[in-house]
């Protein structure tokens, strides 16, 4: 009887050991299979976006932005009692804004330095281009367009090493030399053109926003 009990205990222990052995073999095989799958089929790495090596690389001229502002502010930070002026560049550049209203004004009407020296008329003396600037020549050139304050500084604010341009102020038979400040340059160019337009087309007086030399507050936003 004792021998039978011992035999049963030995058999149970043996079977338990066999199950443990077989279980460890199966687990190791399963682990090997999983590792093998990971090695064969690794987690895919997203492919980089396709690039067209034949596509032209966009270039921007190195010396300036080639965008055209639709509007901007003249006399910004003005110390004048009349303050700043909102300017519609899009209309002045692309609509029939010549004094007679029959054509588009040339760029050099305002950007007077952007033309050959041979094309300058007194009192203009500064030339910065070898050809007259038009929309087409501007697009083809890397040269930027300087703003008015590049040369015409605010009164009393001339940078070191710079000189304020000079102009002639005529009053009757007398003429005097004046500083062509930022304000003076704007008034001469804008007012002269508006006055000429009003002389040719008096009906412009009723157009909202149109002003002549005497209508300061139509253009100026008072401080």
Contact criterion met (CB below 8 Å) for 132 and 116:
yes
In a domain, 133, yes or no: yes
In a domain, 100, yes or no: yes
- Answer whether residue 89 shows pLDDT above 80: yes
Predicted pLDDT at 198: 98
**Structure pTM?**
0.67
Predicted pLDDT at 222: 63
- Lowest-pLDDT range, 5-9, 37-41, 169-173, 193-197? 37-41
Question: pLDDT tens-digit profile of 144-200?
Answer: 999 999 999 998 899 999 999 998 888 778 889 999 999 999 999 999 999 999 999
Instruction: Identify which of 196, 193, 206, 199 has the alpha carbon closest to the alpha carbon of residue 87.
Output: 193
- Answer whether residue 18 shows pLDDT above 50: no
- Lowest-pLDDT range, 47-51, 89-93, 125-129, 205-209? 47-51
- Answer whether residue 90 shows pLDDT above 50: yes
- Answer whether residue 107 shows pLDDT above 80: yes
Q: What average pLDDT does range 114-135 have in this prediction?
A: 94
In a domain, 36, yes or no: no
Predicted pLDDT at 174: 84
In a domain, 20, yes or no: no
Instruction: Output DSSP code: residue 184.
Output: H
Long-range CB pairs of 169-174, under 8 A, 24+ apart, other chains included? none
In a domain, 60, yes or no: no
In a domain, 116, yes or no: yes
Q: Which domain holds residue 189?
A: 73-221
Percentage of residues of the chain with pLDDT beyond 90: 52
Kindly state the tokens that stand for 47: 């492919």
CA distance 84 to 223: 8
Q: What average pLDDT does range 14-42 have in this prediction?
A: 41
Contact criterion met (CB below 8 Å) for 119 and 133:
no
Helices (H) and strands (E) in the chain, counts: 6, 5
Question: pLDDT tens-digit profile of 50-83?
Answer: 433 333 333 333 345 678 999 989 888 777 788 8
* pLDDT averaged over every residue in the chain: 77
Predicted pLDDT at 64: 52
Give the H or E element holding residue 85.
strand 84-88
CA distance 124 to 122: 5
β-bridge partners, 166: 179
> What are the residues whose beta carbons fall under 8 Å from the beta carbon of 85, sequence distance 6 or more?
73, 74, 75, 186, 219, 220, 221
The residue with greater pLDDT, 35 or 88, is 88
As for how many domains the chain has, the answer is 1
In a domain, 37, yes or no: no
In a domain, 119, yes or no: yes
Question: Exposed, middle or buried: residue 211 (CB in 10 Å: 0-12, 13-18, 19+)?
Answer: buried
Predicted pLDDT at 27: 38
């Amino acid at each position: 009887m004792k021998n039978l009990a011992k035999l049963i205990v030995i058999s149970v222990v043996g079977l338990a050991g066999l199950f443990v052995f077989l279980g460890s073999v199966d687990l190791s095989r399963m682990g090997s299979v999983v590792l093998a799958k990971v090695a064969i089929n690794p987690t895919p790495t997203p492919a980089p976006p396709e690039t067209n090596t034949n596509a032209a690389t966009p270039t921007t001229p190195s010396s300036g932005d080639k965008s055209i502002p639709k509007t901007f502010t003249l006399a910004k930070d003005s110390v004048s009692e009349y303050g700043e002026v909102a300017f519609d560049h899009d209309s002045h550049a692309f609509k029939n804004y010549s004094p007679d209203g029959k054509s588009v004004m040339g760029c050099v009407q305002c950007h007077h330095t952007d033309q050959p020296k041979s094309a300058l008329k007194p009192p203009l003396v500064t030339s910065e281009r070898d050809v007259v600037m038009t929309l087409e020549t501007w697009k083809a050139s890397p040269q930027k367009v300087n703003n008015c304050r590049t040369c015409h500084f605010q009164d009393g604010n001339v940078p070191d090493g710079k000189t304020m341009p000079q102009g002639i102020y005529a009053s009757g038979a007398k003429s005097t030399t004046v500083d062509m400040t930022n304000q003076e340059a704007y008034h001469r160019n804008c007012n002269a053109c508006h006055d000429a337009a009003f002389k040719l087309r008096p009906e412009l007086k009723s157009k909202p926003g149109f002003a002549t030399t005497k209508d300061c507050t139509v253009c100026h936003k008072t401080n």
